[in-house]
Amino acid sequence: MKLSTQTKVIALLFSAGLFAGCSSTGEQPEEGGYGSDVAPIDQEGGSTVYGADDDGGVSSSAMTEDERMEAQQQAEQEALREVTTFYFDFDTSEIKAEARDVLVAHARYLSDNPRQNVRLEGHGDERGSKEYNLALGERRAKAVERFLVVNGASRGQMKTISYGEEKPAVMGSSESAWAQNRRVELVFE
């Protein structure tokens, strides 16, 4: 079986092309490397997220430091707004110091969203008369309302109501139960 020179050259070129197409690039992956379109976080703290439909991606390293700080502050404010129940000491309507940052976050949210309304529900524990606890719940709700207004919210966005001792969060006659019942709840509508 004799093959012509031309056939031998074509077979040789085809074999070389096949070999080149199947071989690796010769690069060794870095230790801990991923070998695909996934890139580890760069030294500047950015990372790239690739979309499914295109070759490009969104890189956090393209954000300016101010944009990063603003995004971080916004995330912190949103996390603070997850807290919607504020507790009070016995027989007082004074807002606790630890609640102030959270209430400021709620006030900013209300200020930035003027169409958002909130109901402030005041509660008391079972000690004292029904009338006294209704009045105490009202004072607590009004104290939270004043705090929100001072920090940027509009009074028109808020409605206060007192349930006194009528809607306890926890049943029982212990200090622990009473502490959980002395509260104001923010109910966004």
Query: Which has more pLDDT, 73 or 40?
Result: 73
Strands 118-123 and 158-164: parallel
In angstroms, how far is CA 144 from the centroid of its own chain? 23
| Amino acid type, 122 | G
Query: Which has more pLDDT, 179 or 64?
Result: 179
Q: Is the pTM of this model over 0.85?
A: no
Q: Tell me the residue ranges of DSSP E strands in 9-91.
A: 48-50, 57-59, 85-87
**Helical ranges in the chain per DSSP H:** 5-22, 65-80, 97-112, 130-150, 175-181
pLDDT value of residue 17 = 60
CA distance 74 to 78: 6
Residue among 168, 187, 189, 166 at smallest CA distance from 120: 187
What does the DSSP assignment read for 123-136?
E--SSS-HHHHHHH
Domains of the chain: 85-188 (3.30.1330.60)
Strands 118-123 and 57-59: unpaired
Angle at 106 between CA 102 and CA 112, to 5 degrees: 145
pLDDT in tens, 85-142: 999 999 999 999 999 999 999 999 999 999 999 999 999 999 999 999 999 999 999 9
Q: Which two tokens stand for residue 130?
A: 């029904």
Strand partners, 86: 184
DSSP 82: T
pLDDT value of residue 65 = 86
Strand order in the sheet with 158-164: 85-87, 183-188, 118-123, 158-164
